[in-house]
Amino acid sequence: MEETNSKKDFLVFGSPKITQDEINEVTDSLKSGWLGTGPKVAKFENMFRDYIGCRFARALNSCTAALHLSMLVSGIKPGDEVITTPLTFAATANSILHTGAKPVFADVDKKTMNIDPKLIQNAITKKTKAIIPVHFAGRPCEMDEIMDLAEENNLLVIEDAAHCIEGNYKGKKIGTIGNLTCFSFYVTKNIVTGEGGMITTDNEEWAEKIEMYALHGLSKGAWKRYSDEGFKHYEVIFPGYKYNMMDLQAAIGIHQLKKVEENYKRREEIWKVYNESFEDLPLILPSPVENMKHALHLYTVLLDLDRIKINRNQFQQELIKKKIGTGIHFISLHLHKYYKEAFNYKQGDFPNAEFISDRTISLPFSAKLTDKDVDDVVKSVREILK
């Protein structure tokens, strides 16, 4: 009999499923005395490489770091332009700014919520050097069209797959299509390390640079300097960053990765319950996918504002009163103060992203949810909207 939450408890949005396996592995790291980047990071990288089917996987302390280093090692420079979606977390655009380049937004498809390849074409200029498609909520972007555009215009493709670890597009695993792909292991993601990220690529030179740039630009990392083979001197090859993953984080990730498909099946069950329970409500539910595997990271619905008397923010507050946590994915970046002022964006520039921004809400959706938790979410949503 599975343990259920009392309705007196607040159902936290995005709470991860952590088991004794992860706890034991972290304890083992603590007892070993090796807490920083070491053998467990290497093991996690190898496991992730094999799961994705790429040549190289490099673990970092965040997906933001992964995006930043992906652009640096592939040659994005100040003054370049990088096209991405406005319907994403700030890290996607911020990482472009950290390279000195300019983020250029192309609107999304209202149905998929992913960047629209036709609108990418319109945003390409002589300064464009890369495209960063974001696989929103776990739904793979239309990668064939995006890769064709990139080839025609000699552009890099750096995938933001923070939501899309399990994703597959037309038989190709996400992480094997673009030039580089960036994943997140943040606490709400499908694989959790607390904080953490990974870059996959088939380019050996870039993989070597990523490893070096992530740890101060040193010629040898800590594991190589202080292992039982004896101390080895290092040189600073590049003024790098402190972006490395710790063994304490990788210890969690090793067991999270082992259970990734098992946890996916549980989210599939919850997804089906939600779809069946909400189909008669004034909601626009996630549209089905064809020729791809949705990674099922977020269960995001849009309120049909023409059929209800409350707005999204009011709906969210009503759920909070019922002790149900939610997320907002996302308020379009061009509507945020910094991007409005820095790039003169205004209301109306990206109408599809704005449509979604006004209506979107993400419901609790995690392998940790019990049947009782799911039932509480369904009942609460129906009570508010019926």
Q: Residue 324 in 3-state DSSP?
A: strand
Flag whether 204 is in a domain. Answer: yes
Flag whether 159 is in a domain. Answer: yes
Domain that holds residue 322: 260-385
Q: Report yes or no: 378 and 365 within 8 Å, Cβ to Cβ.
A: no
Listed residues 258, 289, 321: the one ending a domain:
258
User: Which active-site residues does the annotation give?
Assistant: 189
* Overall domain count for the chain: 2
Flag whether 5 is in a domain. Answer: no
| C-alpha Rg value of the chain to the nearest Å | 21
Q: Residue 294 in 3-state DSSP?
A: coil
Tell whether 165 and 235 lie within a shared domain: yes
Domain with 289 in it: what CATH number?
A: 3.90.1150.10
Tell whether 272 and 349 lie within a shared domain: yes
User: Which residues, 6 or more positions from 372, have their beta carbon under 8 angstroms from its beta carbon?
Assistant: 4, 5
Flag whether 194 is in a domain. Answer: yes
CA gap 155, 134 in Å, rounded: 16
Tell whether 197 and 270 lie within a shared domain: no
Listed residues 198, 223, 258: the one ending a domain:
258
Q: Report yes or no: 160 and 67 within 8 Å, Cβ to Cβ.
A: yes
Q: Residue 306, exposed/middle/buried by CB under 10 A (0-12, 13-18, 19+)? A: exposed
pLDDT at 228: 55
Domain with 135 in it: what CATH number?
A: 3.40.640.10
Tell whether 86 and 234 lie within a shared domain: yes
Handedness of CA 344, 347, 353, 357 (dihedral sign): positive
Flag whether 11 is in a domain. Answer: no
Tell whether 254 and 271 lie within a shared domain: no
Rounded to the nearest 10°, the torsion over CA 340, 142, 52, 163 is: 40
Tell whether 191 and 279 lie within a shared domain: no
Flag whether 9 is in a domain. Answer: no
Tell whether 63 and 164 lie within a shared domain: yes
Tell whether 163 and 83 lie within a shared domain: yes
Tell whether 63 and 188 lie within a shared domain: yes
Listed residues 201, 226, 258: the one ending a domain:
258
CA gap 85, 113 in Å, rounded: 9
Tell whether 306 and 217 lie within a shared domain: no
Tell whether 171 and 252 lie within a shared domain: yes
Tell whether 107 and 228 lie within a shared domain: yes
pLDDT tens for each residue of the chain, 386 residues long: 344 444 469 999 999 999 999 999 999 999 999 999 999 999 999 999 999 999 999 999 999 999 999 999 999 999 999 999 999 999 999 999 999 999 999 999 999 999 999 999 999 999 999 999 999 999 999 999 999 999 999 999 999 999 999 999 999 999 999 999 999 999 999 999 999 999 999 999 999 999 999 999 998 654 554 555 655 678 899 999 999 999 999 999 999 999 999 999 999 999 999 999 999 999 999 999 999 999 999 999 999 999 999 999 999 999 999 999 999 999 999 999 999 999 999 999 999 999 999 999 999 999 999 999 999 999 999 999 98
Helix segments in 295-350, DSSP class H: 312-321, 337-343
